[in-house]
């Protein structure tokens, strides 16, 4: 008799049909992801598990359990300074440049410590954070010790997902094989590897805002802001209203930010020249859309951090930090 595989029960829970299928509990999800990350699951089980979750749509408790299992495998060095803001970057940009990077760098210049993590290459035709940072000559951490050094020196660190947990990177790269995104795209955003006091997240599908909000509550996160960002990144679309779901000390809320620009649509940027980021940063190019995107993203982050009480105060502070940036800091790498 063939012995039942220990992971089979988790596939069975998700695949029993319309009336018997249920979501995993937080503890079940944590155990299932532990087995996956320890390499104790067969490839066919992993594929079935991920796609059954995708069809059902992940619950907040599942995302929280997966996140805890991944966090169990991440070691933060003692030299890591206290981090203010966890910034996830897992989507990449296709229609507009990654203006969110200029918002994050502005925050770091003001002394707010930003820990950014993400991945790249899983969807063709997109510009990702790592490649952009490298083109700008900014460091990408090769391990968490380097991340701690970057944070101490610059109040900013970017850590690729494979540094945090290689198996998560491998699972994200299954997208071309399976044809669909997997839950890893959701819970990787929740990792908060350095234990920042506040998390900010951009998503593409609006229904996932409530999932992230609920997962943050289950994880006991003190501060979270999640919204539908441009391309799924943490980037405010300045020509559209923006709904931001928040968690603050166990309380949830919904903020509704009005549009910053009158135009209802923005044409795609066909060129996607990284040099344009530098030109806007240095004040050599005027771009109303870019600057509204940057200051609008800054405002959401500052409100989430508790640096401003009202939307209006956050907008004003974001605009001031942008005006006062060190324009000499950024240039294209040689």
The answer to whether residue 334 scores a pLDDT higher than 70 is: no
Q: Which of 27, 47, 71 is the last residue of a domain?
A: 71
Instruction: Give the pLDDT of residue 125.
Output: 79
User: Do residues 313 and 247 share a domain?
Assistant: yes
Detail the DSSP E strand segments found in the chain: 85-89, 114-118, 156-160, 198-203, 223-228, 242-248, 251-257
Average pLDDT, the chain: 94
Model's pTM, two decimal places?
A: 0.95
User: Do residues 20 and 112 share a domain?
Assistant: no
The answer to whether residue 322 scores a pLDDT higher than 90 is: yes
Q: In whole angstroms, give the CA distance from residue 100 to residue 290.
A: 9
Mean pLDDT in residue range 288-293: 97
pLDDT band, residue 311 (cuts 50/70/90): very high
Mean pLDDT in residue range 17-40: 94
Q: Over the stretch 66-115, which tens digit does the pLDDT of each residue have?
A: 999 999 999 999 999 999 999 999 999 999 999 999 999 999 999 999 99
Q: Over the stretch 179-209, which tens digit does the pLDDT of each residue have?
A: 888 899 999 999 999 999 999 999 998 989 9
Mean pLDDT in residue range 253-277: 91
The answer to whether residue 52 scores a pLDDT higher than 70 is: yes
Instruction: Give the pLDDT of residue 222.
Output: 95
Nearest to 29 by CA among 3, 67, 82: 67
Instruction: Give the pLDDT of residue 333.
Output: 64
The answer to whether residue 26 scores a pLDDT higher than 50 is: yes
Mean pLDDT in residue range 313-327: 97
Residue 262 DSSP SS3: coil
User: Do residues 42 and 98 share a domain?
Assistant: no
Residue 133 maps to a domain? yes
- For residue 13, what is the domain's CATH number? 1.20.970.10
CA dihedral 131, 132, 134, 137 (to 10 degrees): 170
Number of domains in the chain: 2
Residue 273 maps to a domain? yes
Instruction: Give the pLDDT of residue 4.
Output: 83
Q: In whole angstroms, give the CA distance from residue 230 to residue 202.
A: 8
Instruction: Give the pLDDT of residue 331.
Output: 78
Percent of the chain with pLDDT over 90: 85
- Only one residue has tokens 């593409």, namely 204
pLDDT band, residue 220 (cuts 50/70/90): very high
Q: Which of 29, 48, 71 is the last residue of a domain?
A: 71
The answer to whether residue 124 scores a pLDDT higher than 80 is: no
User: Do residues 42 and 154 share a domain?
Assistant: no
Residue 328 maps to a domain? no
Domain that holds residue 116: 85-323
Nearest to 108 by CA among 321, 286, 293, 311: 321
User: Do residues 270 and 311 share a domain?
Assistant: yes
Mean pLDDT in residue range 162-187: 92
pLDDT band, residue 17 (cuts 50/70/90): confident
The CB density around residue 300, as the number of other CB atoms within 10 Å, is 28
Instruction: Give the pLDDT of residue 36.
Output: 97
The answer to whether residue 1 scores a pLDDT higher than 70 is: no
């Amino acid at each position: 008799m063939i012995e039942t595989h220990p992971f089979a029960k988790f596939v069975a829970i998700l695949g029993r049909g319309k009336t018997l299928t249920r979501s995993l509990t937080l503890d079940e999800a944590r155990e299932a992801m532990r087995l996956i990350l320890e390499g104790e699951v067969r490839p066919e089980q992993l594929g079935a598990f991920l796609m059954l979750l995708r069809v059902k749509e992940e619950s907040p408790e599942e995302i929280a359990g997966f996140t805890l299992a991944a966090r169990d495998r991440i070691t933060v060095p003692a030299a890591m300074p206290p981090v203010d803001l966890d910034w996830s970057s897992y989507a990449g940009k296709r229609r507009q440049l990654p203006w969110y990077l200029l918002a994050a760098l502005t925050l770091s210049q003001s002394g707010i410590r930003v820990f950014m993590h993400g991945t790249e290459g899983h969807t063709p035709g997109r510009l990702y954070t790592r490649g952009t940072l490298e083109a700008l000559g900014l460091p990408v951490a090769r391990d968490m010790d380097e991340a701690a050094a970057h944070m101490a020196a610059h109040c900013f660190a970017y850590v690729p997902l494979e540094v945090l947990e290689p198996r998560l990177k491998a699972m994200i790269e299954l997208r071309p094989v399976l044809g669909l995104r997997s839950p890893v795209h959701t819970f990787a955003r929740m990792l908060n590897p350095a234990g920042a006091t506040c998390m900010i997240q951009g998503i593409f599908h609006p229904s996932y805002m409530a999932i992230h909000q609920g997962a943050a509550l289950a994880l006991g996160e003190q501060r979270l802001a999640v919204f539908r960002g441009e391309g799924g990144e943490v980037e405010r679309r300045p020509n559209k209203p923006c709904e931001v779901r928040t968690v603050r000390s166990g309380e949830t809320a919904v903020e509704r930010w009005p549009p910053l620009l009158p135009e209802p649509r923005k044409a795609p940027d066909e060129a996607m020249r990284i040099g344009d980021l530098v030109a806007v940063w240095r004040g050599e190019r005027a771009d109303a859309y870019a600057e509204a995107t940057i200051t609008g993203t800054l405002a959401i982050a500052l409100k989430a951090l508790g640096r401003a009480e009202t939307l209006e105060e956050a907008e004003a502070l974001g605009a001031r930090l942008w005006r006062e940036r060190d324009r000499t800091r950024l240039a294209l790498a040689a």
